[in-house]
Amino acid sequence: MNGFLHWLQHDTSGLLTLSAAGIALLLIMIMRLKVEPFIALLVVGLLVAVAAGLPVEQIVGSAQKSSGSLLENGFGSILGHIAAIIGLGTLLGAILEASGGAEVLTRSLLRAFGERRAPLAMGLSGLIFGIPVFFDIGIFVLAPLVYVAAKRGGRSIVLYAMPLLAGLSVMHAFMPPHPGPVTVAGLLHVDLGWIIIMGLACAIPAWFVGGVLFSSWIGKRVNLPVPEEMLAAAEQARGADAAEDKGDEPSLGLVSTIIGIPLVLILLGTFGSILLPKGSAVAGVCTFLGTPAVALTIAVLLAVWLLGTRRGMTRAKITELTTASLRPVGMILLVVGAGGFFGAVLSATGVGKALAGTLAAAGLPVIALSYVISVGLRVAQGSATVAIVATGGIVGPLVVDQGYSQPQLALIAMAIAAGSIFASHVNDGGFWIVSRYFGIPVKETLQTWTVLESILSVVGFAMAALLSVFV
């Protein structure tokens, strides 16, 4: 028994076996036992730490002192980085949605592109509005406009829904302030400015291939009408169209400006710190304004004033709106915090160094391994967030002190994000939202949405891998 424990805790093959066993147990708990991912990650992290022979004081601290423990540091280090960003991003999206910004943006694009190119307009709507708004919220808000466009165009709803879904999906996967890219940035210690740059470089080609080319092809082959039960929602959207001329909605320029402000400020902070003289007043201002939490706070305050208060929204309504929008964030943060603890345990056990040595011997790039692990976790258990958190915890120790630049780390983060959206199927909540909300049968959802997600994933990873050759 002592020999087995020594092998498990000190030998490279033993450490890798321990890591694999931990991941297998994590999947069993989530998939078979239906344990909440937060609890599953916490339990598996504790079990792996104990099995690896780490001292109790190192894992959870002591009765006199818990600070410095893996449990506290694992949760605190990642949540300290992302909690404010995710919360502020959620508030910004909620205010934009409640003010009618989504409808303004989509109707403006539909007018600009015309009925013939309405699918492209829907795709651009998803791409732009998907920056501040969660994937499922984007569907709920914009779906009635898809019904209207599909009914007026007399073509398959698939032709209009898939471009929109592609835009929402790539933004949710690759761009801050969404939980996935923000979380993986924290786990890999990479600046969000570089995440934005590499996220756009991966997301836009993926959206074009999946949301434009594939959606146009599949939309002509899977012919599905707007469901009868959805026509009432379509009529309501048509009524909103009629209200457009009343002047009670925000302008397209205002909506676009508020969406773009945090991205511009974060990029200003990233490149200001590189290009401007260190210690100068201008560099300090750029760094301050470009801090993600500060940039998003500015955007939220402007949104509250320009889209809320100035347009007659009461303080009570704003409070109700912000409170409701933040409720779902709690579980996301718990999952991310437990994932940070899991990653800290893997790092402390030496699994990261063991895996790095094995990869070096095999000649497998970290970026490829990151994608493969993320894909495996995504397909197995369905949750993109869990796939990102668990993969980030595994990959994080591999890149520590390995000389990776910020752009290289951002591309590894993009590979993880790309893997997390591969092959959405029946174990993914998003699959059922798409199927039920657009009235697409399961078979056709697999033919359209599942394939679309796989294309977005593969193209996104291919762009990350290609760019990694040059940075």
How high is the pLDDT of residue 246?
45
Q: What is the DSSP string of 269-319?
A: HHHHHHHSPTT-HHHHHHHHHHSHHHHHHHHHHHHIIIIIGGGT--HHHHH
Opening angle at CA 343, ends 338 and 345, nearest 5: 95
How high is the pLDDT of residue 214?
97
- For residue 246, what is the DSSP state? G
The CA distance from 183 to 99, in Å, is 28
Provide φ and ψ at 189, rounded to 5°: 60, 55
How high is the pLDDT of residue 245?
44
Q: How far apart are the first and last CA of the chain?
A: 48
How high is the pLDDT of residue 288?
94
Burial 384-419 (b: 16+ CB within 10 A, else e): bbbbbbbbbbbbbbbbeeeebebbbbbbbbbbbbbb
How high is the pLDDT of residue 428?
87
Enter the pTM of the model: 0.84
The CA distance from 307 to 305, in Å, is 6
Helix/strand/coil percent split, the chain, to 5: 80, 0, 20
- In order along its 471 residues, the chain shows pLDDT tens digits of 566 655 656 666 777 788 788 888 888 888 788 888 889 889 998 998 888 888 888 888 765 555 678 888 888 877 887 888 888 988 998 888 888 887 788 888 888 888 889 999 999 999 999 998 888 888 888 888 888 888 888 899 999 999 999 999 999 999 998 889 999 999 899 999 999 999 999 999 999 999 999 999 999 999 998 876 665 545 554 554 444 444 467 888 899 899 999 999 999 998 887 788 888 889 899 999 999 999 999 999 999 999 988 888 888 888 888 888 888 788 888 888 888 888 788 778 877 667 666 665 667 789 999 999 899 888 887 888 888 888 888 888 888 778 899 999 999 999 999 999 999 988 888 898 899 888 899 999 999 999 999 999 999 999 999 999 998
Count of beta carbons in the 10 Å neighbourhood of residue 290: 23
Reading the block at residue 334, the tokens are: 């718990």
Residue-level length of the chain: 471
Count of beta carbons in the 10 Å neighbourhood of residue 251: 13
Opening angle at CA 193, ends 292 and 84, nearest 5: 20
Reading the block at residue 86, the tokens are: 């995710």
Q: What is the DSSP string of 198-234?
A: HHHHHHHHHHIIIIIIIHHHHHTTS--PPPGGGHHHH
Let me know if 56 is exposed, middle or buried by CB neighbors in 10 A (0-12, 13-18, 19+): exposed
Cα–Cα separations (whole angstroms), residue 225 to 151, 164, 401: 8, 17, 55
Q: Where are the beta strands (DSSP E) in 21-61?
A: none
Opening angle at CA 28, ends 27 and 32, nearest 5: 120
Phi-psi category of 147—alpha, beta or left, where left has phi over 0 and alpha has psi -120 to 50?
Answer: alpha
Opening angle at CA 95, ends 177 and 98, nearest 5: 130
Query: Each residue of 260-289: pLDDT tens digit?
Result: 999 999 999 988 877 888 888 898 999 999
